[in-house]
């Protein structure tokens, strides 16, 4: 039985590696050459009453924020499998944008749930409409409990990312847009694929634990009312 399970895992791993490799050899330029022309009645979205497309639940927040984190790791896997410099340069900014978006969403979600535990808000709390990760982290820390080495290390990484991308545009705008709109010359940090993948997984594990704590706490309070 163990041998069968081991062989099955190897087979799945080979299949995934092959699929990732094939994906890494494709890009939107080559794929878009073979699509049909638009018709007058074509739309982006399908009618809400049409249930044949496997829609996700509208209120499933976990799928949205986890989707950003999963996408960043998926793209990193494609980058590692490819020797195409164009692909690597094209995908690394979406990797960072998706993970930064995940961090912003999960911290805001956790903060809001923690805040709903209380009867009144504290003064000087971060605005959940903003994009500053440092401010979100500063407020979130008060709910995590005793500060330990892991909390301090995570905080250091959050502050490092926020210092590089305070308003969430570094990995969202290209150099031309940034220079034109913000009238400033951007400096992108140097990224090592192996290091950034490990940091993303480490931070994801930490913030998922925090979010789970916030969700369970709010569920208990609502259940006791």
Helix, strand or coil, per DSSP, at residue 117: coil
Residue 215 has pLDDT above 70, yes or no: yes
Q: How far apart are CA 44 and CA 33, in angstroms?
A: 19
Report yes or no on 7 lying in a domain: no
What is the pLDDT averaged over residues 4-19?
Answer: 57
Report yes or no on 162 lying in a domain: yes
Report yes or no on 21 lying in a domain: no
Dihedrals phi, psi of 23, to nearest 5 degrees? -65, -40
User: Which percentage of the chain shows pLDDT scores above 70?
Assistant: 74
Report yes or no on 184 lying in a domain: yes
Report yes or no on 64 lying in a domain: yes
Confidence label for 109 from pLDDT (cuts 50, 70 and 90) = very high
Give the Cα-Cα-Cα angle 162, 189, 104 (nearest 5 degrees): 30
Report yes or no on 34 lying in a domain: no
Tally of domains within the chain: 1
Helix, strand or coil, per DSSP, at residue 165: coil
Report yes or no on 8 lying in a domain: no
What domain range includes position 151? 60-224
20 class by beta-carbon count within 10 Å (0-12 exposed, 13-18 middle, 19+ buried)? middle
What is the pLDDT averaged over residues 156-175?
Answer: 92
Report yes or no on 85 lying in a domain: yes
């Amino acid at each position: 039985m163990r041998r069968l399970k081991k062989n099955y895992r190897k087979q799945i791993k080979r299949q995934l590696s092959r699929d990732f490799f094939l994906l890494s050899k494709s890009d939107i330029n080559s794929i878009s050459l073979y699509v049909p022309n638009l018709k007058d009645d074509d739309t982006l979205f399908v009618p809400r009453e049409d249930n044949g497309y496997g829609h996700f639940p509208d209120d499933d927040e976990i799928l949205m924020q986890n989707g950003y984190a999963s996408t960043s790791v998926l793209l990193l896997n494609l980058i590692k499998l490819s020797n195409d410099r164009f692909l690597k340069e094209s995908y690394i900014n979406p990797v960072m944008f998706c993970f930064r978006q995940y961090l912003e969403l999960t911290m805001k979600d956790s903060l809001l749930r923690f805040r709903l535990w209380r009867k009144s808000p504290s003064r000087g709390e971060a605005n959940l409409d903003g994009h500053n990760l440092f401010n979100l982290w500063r407020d979130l820390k008060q709910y995590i409990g005793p500060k330990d080495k892991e909390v301090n290390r995570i905080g250091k990484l959050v502050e490092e990312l926020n210092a590089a991308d305070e308003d969430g545009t570094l990995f969202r705008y290209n150099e031309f847009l940034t220079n034109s709109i913000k009238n400033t010359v951007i400096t992108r940090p140097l990224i090592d694929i192996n290091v950034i993948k490990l940091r993303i997984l480490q931070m994801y594990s930490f913030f998922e634990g925090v979010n789970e704590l916030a969700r369970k706490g709010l569920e208990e309070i609502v259940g006791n009312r």
